[in-house]
Amino acid sequence: MNSEQGERLDLLELLPHRYPFLLIDQVVEVEPAVRVVCIKNVTYNDWYFQGHYPDHPVMPGMLILEAMAQTGGILILSSIPQADGLVAYFTGADQVKFRRPVHPGDQLRIEATMLQSRRSIYRFHAEAFVGDLLAAEADLTVSIR
């Protein structure tokens, strides 16, 4: 489902995160249980730039990783017919690579693709891009409870 077509996917219904820890601004594309694309607009107003770093603002790598995990949560929870009350818990990260810094004014396009699902454990590959340039990638695991 493309967000421009049909019903708009409400990420606030899928994710329990809220300000200041909701790190996804928009769901752009969803193929339930296959692939999802989300957007994070990085701005000087983001809370973490006050201390990371005031004279050279860079989005912390762990928050990029968290944004990728939240994107995966959307991928998984959007594919479960009755996901009300379910929460995706981030349980692991493998093959994590940070390729380039992310600065205020950048737009992160995060793509997550399902690798494996078994019972309540899901693995997916996520990539975060600024434009066409890869900023970060990882294989992530979440547990649904």
CA pair distance 23, 41, nearest whole angstrom? 9
The pLDDT confidence band at residue 8, using thresholds 50, 70 and 90, is low
What length does the chain have? Answer: 145
Q: Which of 25, 130, 38 is nearest to 76 (CA)?
A: 38
Which is the catalytic residue, given 17, 52, 103, 125?
52
CB neighbours of residue 62 within 10 Å:
12
Q: By the 8 A CB rule, do 135 and 98 touch?
A: yes
The encoded tokens of residue 123 equal 């693995």
Domain ranges of the chain: 11-144
> Would you call 52 a catalytic residue per the annotation?
yes
Reply yes or no on domain 11-144 having CATH 3.10.129.10.
yes
Kindly report, residue by residue over 28-61, the tens digit of the pLDDT.
Answer: 999 999 999 999 999 999 999 999 988 999 999 9
